[in-house]
Structure 1
Amino acid sequence: MSSVEDQSHNRIEHVIQDGGSVDNTETVIAEKLHPNVSYERMPDKGIYEGINNAIVRCRGDVIGLLHSDDVFAYSNVVEDVMTLFRSSDIDVVYSDLSLGVFLEDGSFKVVRKWKSEEFHPRLLRMGWVPPHPTLFIKRSIFDRVGFYNSNYRISGDFDFMLRLFNLTGLKFKYLPTETIHMSLGGTSTRAFYTELIKLSEDFEISNKHGLPLSGLLLKKLRKLQQFI
């Protein structure tokens, strides 16, 4: 919440979706609520249903996701993104991120750097997708791409991005800078058994979208190249 508050852009609607946290989340949020923050606590069956519930509540023209324990890398991220949307007819903006851990002194220790690149359709068959947490999407695009498939536990973002980047007529813009610090230990990076679930879902999604097995293997290799 502090990361969003520190953004220089002055027209941010902060929609918080809580699927039923059992820690101190509700108390912390209540202490920091203000008119630009909308909080809903409602049970859901997983991450992607929660995201869908939040998207439905959004009123703004552009939607970006900031997952639990992730933060913006600097205070002008939203302003830089919105400058791109204002300067040309862009539908989707994405960028780079770092994955790591927050230390007790508040600093961020980087473990992986995920650097993206300019989009080309051939990249999808090579296992390429941009870092999901860096996506900013015009709200109207959800009418075409649909919402996240809540049947997936971990890889619903992979399925969503393949649907998004396969849409014809959209204009994508790569912002070549690091905009998100993502905490390791989330659902997609937590443990070996979750990696097995993710692999199974990735395989199902790849088959559904007609991606070759080589593309799925390259997707895994890309992750190995990110470690520093």
Structure 2
Amino acid sequence: MPAHPTLYLKRNLFQKYGHYALNLGTAADYDLILRFFYTHKVKAQYLPLLMVKMRMGGVSNKSYKSLYHAFINDYKALINNQLPNPLLILLLKKLSKIKQFFN
């Protein structure tokens, strides 16, 4: 899954597959990435460059309440894009972020 600040997309993809689902709050970018790359199988080009250094903090993880809302909205994004086993995917997503606390 690409980090959202490093993702560059062509305008025609938005016209063809839709825009950000703003009703999903902080998961709007997650939904867009799932829709483009998993649902519609858009091809991507990987650039092995360090372009952005993401840091801890932000709207989605500033409090327990915001973590809960982020979890719910991520779940909705997975359901909207019909990915199998959404709870397992979310668990693995959260587990993959643990290493951020030790860097």
Instruction: Confirm or deny a common fold (TM above 0.5).
Output: yes
CA distance in 2: counterparts of 1:146 and 1:158, whole angstroms: 13
Q: Which runs of 5+ in 2 are unaligned?
A: none
Q: How many residue pairs are counted as aligned between the two chains?
A: 99
Question: 1:208/1:171 Cα in 2 relative to 1: closer, same or farther (>3 Å)?
Answer: closer
Identity %: 36
Pick from 65, 71, 88 the counterpart of residue 199 of structure 1: 71
Larger CA deviation: 158-167 vs 206-215:
206-215
Question: 1:209/1:177 Cα in 2 relative to 1: closer, same or farther (>3 Å)?
Answer: same
Q: Does 1:133 align with 2:40?
A: no
Flag the structure with more relative contact order, 1 or 2, with Cα contacts below 8 A and sequence separation at least 6.
Answer: 2
Q: Which runs of 5+ in 1 are unaligned?
A: 1-128
Q: Does 1:220 align with 2:91?
A: no
What displacement does 1:183 show? 4.6
What displacement does 1:196 show? 0.6
Higher share in strand: 1
What displacement does 1:207 show? 2.1
**Root-mean-square deviation (Å):** 1.7
Higher share in helix: 2
1:184·1:190 contact (CA, 8 Å) conserved in 2?
A: no
Map 1:174-213 onto structure 2 (within 5 A). 174-211=46-83, 212=85, 213=87
CA distance in 2: counterparts of 1:226 and 1:175, whole angstroms: 22
For residues 60-113 of structure 1, the C-alpha deviation after alignment (integer angstroms, 9 at most, x for no partner) is xxxxxxxxxxxxxxxxxxxxxxxxxxxxxxxxxxxxxxxxxxxxxxxxxxxxxx
